[in-house]
Amino acid sequence: MAAAQLTLLWAVCLLPGPLALPLPPDAANMSQLQRKQAQDYLEKFYSGDSKTKEISSLAAKLKEMQNFFGLPLTGKLNPHIMEIMQKPRCGVPDVLKYSLFPNKLKWLSKDITYRIVSYTSDLSRRTVDKIVEKAFSMWHEQIPLNFRRVRMGPADIIISFETKDHGDGSPFDGPGNAVAHAFGPGPGLGGDVHFDNDEYWTVSNEIGINFLYAAVHELGHSLGLSHSSVPDAVMYPTYENGDEANLKLSEDDIKGIQKLY
């Protein structure tokens, strides 16, 4: 039952709104492609203000996005917004309708198992294993939860590399934009993490998508955190590649996870 609800929430979050919605007037000087990109982005990552009846107005979604990123609430597209929309990011929407859900999803057991069921050809298996272990340990340092890897059979958190439509109602989009997503704690798909195998995964801070940065962020979702609008938080929705040595949980991430566990 809970698994069905989880899947449903996911589907509801990403269900495209009605198509051909009117765009804000100042989008007129943007190229058709840019406008289409903006429309797709907002429909994918923003739910619209559910308190009003204008659930699917693009201007309302745009305001939600501006609110999330701490920008003036103009409801209008501009080059700065377009720039944010081009960045590689997590595929989980920024505004989740948690009202559909029991509040504060979390793991009830202190011992959580995980299993890596598929790999990318960009990195060695050993590297992927080590990075996933490191990502878990960064969260483990802050909360009384233990993470144990299993190599076969069931596990709480299943980690895999997938492409395009991979059976969970949230198809990946090829290279760029959404690069990974994860489900909040729960049975079945709950806690699972999917990385888009159409990305170029690296341990570098210059090219491709840094796997450690992405893994720490996605495991935050697996443990029950949603996106943070604090720019230096690991749970910020866009990915900035940086030096792995500098990657640490921000105060905001730590406050969030310690509140849950």
- As annotated, the binding site includes 90, 122, 156, 166, 168, 173-174, 181, 190, 192, 194, 196, 199, 217, 221, 227, 235
Under the binding rule (CB under 5 A), the answer on residue 157 touching Zn ion is: no
| Residue from 255, 193, 251 nearest 221 by CA | 193
The reply to whether 218 belongs to the active site is yes
Under the binding rule (CB under 5 A), the answer on residue 178 touching Zn ion is: no
Under the binding rule (CB under 5 A), the answer on residue 129 touching Zn ion is: no
Under the binding rule (CB under 5 A), the answer on residue 92 touching Zn ion is: yes
Q: Are 191 and 107 in contact (CB under 8 A)?
A: yes
| Residue from 44, 70, 75, 71 nearest 58 by CA | 75
Q: Using CB under 5 A, count the residues that bind Zn ion.
A: 5
Considering only residues 187 to 216 of the shown chain, the ones binding Zn ion according to CB under 5 A are: 194
Residue 55 neighbours by CB distance under 10 Å: 14
**Catalytic residue (choose from 43, 64, 162, 218):** 218
Coil, helix or strand for 245? Answer: helix
Residues 6+ apart with CB under 8 A from 165: 171
Under the binding rule (CB under 5 A), the answer on residue 223 touching Zn ion is: no
Place of tokens 């699917």: 56
Under the binding rule (CB under 5 A), the answer on residue 168 touching Zn ion is: yes
Site pattern 71..90 for Zn ion (x: CB under 5 A) = -------------------x
Angle, helix 125-140 to helix 211-223, in steps of 10 degrees: 50
Smaller CB separation from Zn ion, 35 or 44? 44
Contacting positions for Zn ion (CB under 5 A): 90, 92, 168, 170, 194
Active-site amino acid positions: 218
